[in-house]
Amino acid sequence: MAPPRQGLIFPAPSPSKKRMSDTVVSLTSSAAPAAIRQDIRHDWTLAEIQAIHDMPLLDLVHRAGVVHRAHNDPADIQRAALLSIKTGGCPEDCAYCPQSAHHKGANLPRERLMPVEAVLKEAAAAKANGAHRFCMGAAWRKPKDGPDFDAVLEMVRGVRGLGMEACVTLGMLTQAQAQRLAEAGLTSYNHNLDTGPEFYGDIISTRTYDDRLQTLEHVREAGIGVCCGGIVGMGERVRDRAEMLLVLANHAPHPESVPINALVAVEGTPLEDRPPIDPLDLVRMCATARIVMPRARVRLSAGRKSLTREAQILCFLAGANSIFYGERLLTTANNEADADAELLRDIGVPVPEVTLAAAE
Ligand code: SAM
Ligand code: DTB
Ligand code: SF4
């Protein structure tokens, strides 16, 4: 009989005091790296995660850096290119999203799915520019079986054929759809929890937290990597951020990628007036995610454009080891690729020069 799987559930309360002090001892002893390496846990408590998040910043960044280096090569920073393959007109009401048909003020026209060849051309250009992964996003509540889904499968096969990792984010999936994406060679599926379960209802009403967890289960069952994270700066409390990390960190295995987005406050969305977050909030989120999920790719995602180079470097020191790379996110602007390549080179991460022939 197959062993019971640990699902996407809240953890049972655990004897956190002892566990916490064990962890602190292992992180401060001289033999720390060896001790930390074994310290992959799925029984975190909210109190522990909040305590980590709220540590003095220098201690937090140091501790995250130690965990990061015990588990990962610090010069390995993944570059993921992003393309909106189907933009606008989404029936969901996510308050942050300009693609929702509910937010007429965002004025984003509904488009059809891009043709496969056009998508693969963008993927080839991203590869020539030095991207490792190609992520394709569709403004769907859930994909419909039929020609569009078949075309997405073709895109996944094409991206894999270019020698890149392929990721898609298409909304809620059935088990059969996840299986077909796996068979097409999909590396990873992005489906964010966005925030903690208590605050979630303030942001989205058209699908539940459990709906999201169920799709993540389907993705995991199909053997596809899980890419799941959220957004800071929507008006949530630190407790909500910690609750989201708790759900992710107690998911066994941990998600392979954890995108940490800062809200891009887009005009015409209900969150258009949210003030920008303090960049140090992002540093804290990256560091906390790194400590509780030592081997996940922590992706410094949307909102990076408003960070200085130095704030981004602090995030890398705190364990962020992936970025969206390329001038566009889905519908909003991202950092210039040249500036990112320069930043990465300046901190010792090699990025190949673009060869014009390869980019055409
Ligand atoms: N429709 C699919 C879905 O929601 O799963 C895929 C696309 S959706 C745009 C992917 C993710 O982008 C969202 O879950 C959210 O976390 C992030 N996102 C969307 N708009 C954002 C914004 N304005 N600022 C920051 N992150 C955003
Ligand atoms: C994720 O966590 N962030 C990306 C990706 N997954 C699909 C999307 C960010 C979108 C930012 C707003 C926009 O450009 O529309
Ligand atoms: Fe639709 Fe995704 Fe935007 Fe929500 S985040 S409105 S599901 S495209």
Q: Residue 242: CB within 6 Å of ligand 2?
A: no
Topology given in CATH for the domain delimited by 53-344: TIM Barrel (3.20.20)
Which helix or strand (DSSP H or E) is residue 227 part of? strand 225-227
**257-262 and 322-324 beta bridge pairing:** unpaired
Please report the pLDDT score of residue 38 as a whole number.
54
228 is catalytic: no
Please report the pLDDT score of residue 352 as a whole number.
86
315 is catalytic: no
Please report the pLDDT score of residue 39 as a whole number.
82
SS3 state of residue 340: helix
pLDDT tens digit at each of 360 positions of the chain? 333 333 333 333 333 333 333 333 344 333 444 444 458 999 999 999 999 999 999 999 999 999 999 999 999 999 999 999 999 999 999 999 999 999 998 988 899 999 999 999 999 999 999 999 999 999 999 999 999 999 999 999 999 999 999 999 999 999 999 999 999 999 999 999 999 999 999 999 999 999 999 999 999 999 999 999 999 999 999 999 999 999 999 999 999 999 999 999 999 999 999 999 999 999 999 999 999 999 999 999 999 999 999 999 999 999 999 999 999 999 999 999 999 999 999 999 999 887 544 445
Phi, psi values for residue 298, rounded to 5°: -90, 115
Selected catalytic residue, list 97, 228, 286, 315: 97
Of 265, 207, 238, the closest CA to residue 53 belongs to 238
Please report the pLDDT score of residue 4 as a whole number.
36
Find the DSSP H helices in the chain: 16-28, 32-37, 46-53, 57-71, 116-128, 147-161, 175-183, 197-200, 209-221, 238-249, 279-292, 309-317, 337-346, 356-359
| Cα(205)–Cα(88) distance, integer angstroms | 18
| Cα(220)–Cα(204) distance, integer angstroms | 24
Pocket of ligand 1 (CB under 6 A): 90, 96-97, 99, 137, 139-140, 169, 171, 191-192, 194, 231, 261, 263-264, 266, 302, 330
Q: Please state the pTM of the whole predicted model.
A: 0.91
Give the mutation target among 78, 82, 322 for probing the ligand 2 site: most ligand atoms within 8 A of CB: 82
Question: Angle at CA 22, nearest 5°, toward 249 and 296?
Answer: 25
Give the number of whichever ligand sits closest to the CA of residue 193: 1
Q: Is 128:354 a contact under the CB 8 Å cutoff?
A: yes
Q: Residue 94: CB within 6 Å of ligand 3?
A: yes
Q: What are the extents of the domains in the chain? A: 53-344
Q: Is 118:159 a contact under the CB 8 Å cutoff?
A: no
Of 229, 233, 240, the closest CA to residue 194 belongs to 229
Give the mutation target among 172, 194, 240, 261 for probing the ligand 1 site: most ligand atoms within 8 A of CB: 261
94 is catalytic: yes
How far is ligand 3, taken at its centre, from the CA of residue 21, in Å?
Answer: 41
Q: Which residues 6+ apart lie within 8 Å of 357 measured at CB? A: none
Half-sphere exposure of 314 (CA within 13 A, CB side): 18
